[in-house]
Amino acid sequence: MMDDFSSDIEQCLTVLHKGGIILYPTDTVWGLGCDATNANAIEKIMALKQRPQNKSFVVLVTGERDVLQHVAAPDLALFDYLQGTERPTTVIYDNALGLAENVLADDGSIAMRICNDAFCRRLIKRFRKPIVSTSANISGQPAPSIFTEIRTDIKQGVDYVVKHRQQDGARAQPSSIIRWKNGAVQVIR
């Protein structure tokens, strides 16, 4: 079956390679995205969201191999735990590697989610780098759970708005967020 988002993928890749921002559907809510290794692109998202400099971001990857490439010595037992989760789960990992400084928390950790959404997986695999995913809202305001709830200034502030799933009325939930410490889960959200 042919997917309906090939054109969106090509447009997103062009924007991401140029250091731009995309507005795209994720495995959770609609997100603002950019190259997680490009500090200037991350600055653009911070400005658009009016977000404090000290708040870190979530980055999306496609699998365990991506995590191992961008995190120093994660506990591999965590991957077994993630296999059993139903809800999209973002994990805070210590000791991030190869990502822009301004995407990290002050302690050098990174919030990373292995994404199972078909569109996001295709985009990340083609881009070959992690992509920032932050809710498509002004910082401190509610995250829009469907496309029609996204503010006009956010839509106008990006370099490309993905057409795929704009008509989807299913209300999305943000991911759960956990930290894995000494073989145990600490639930953050």
Tell me the domains of the chain and their CATH numbers.
6-187 (3.90.870.10)
Tell me the average pLDDT of the chain: 94
- Tell me how far apart the alpha carbons of residues 106 and 150 are, in angstroms, rounded to a whole number: 29
Select from 106, 98, 109, 105 the least CA-distant residue to 56. 105
- Tell me how far apart the alpha carbons of residues 3 and 5 are, in angstroms, rounded to a whole number: 6
Q: Is the pLDDT of residue 1 over 60?
A: no
- Tell me how far apart the alpha carbons of residues 37 and 35 are, in angstroms, rounded to a whole number: 5
pLDDT digits (tens, 9 = 90+) for 64-119: 999 999 999 999 999 999 999 999 999 999 999 999 999 999 999 999 999 999 99
How high is the pLDDT of residue 7?
Answer: 96
**Which ranges of the chain does DSSP label H, i.e. alpha helix?**
6-17, 39-49, 64-70, 77-83, 118-127, 152-156
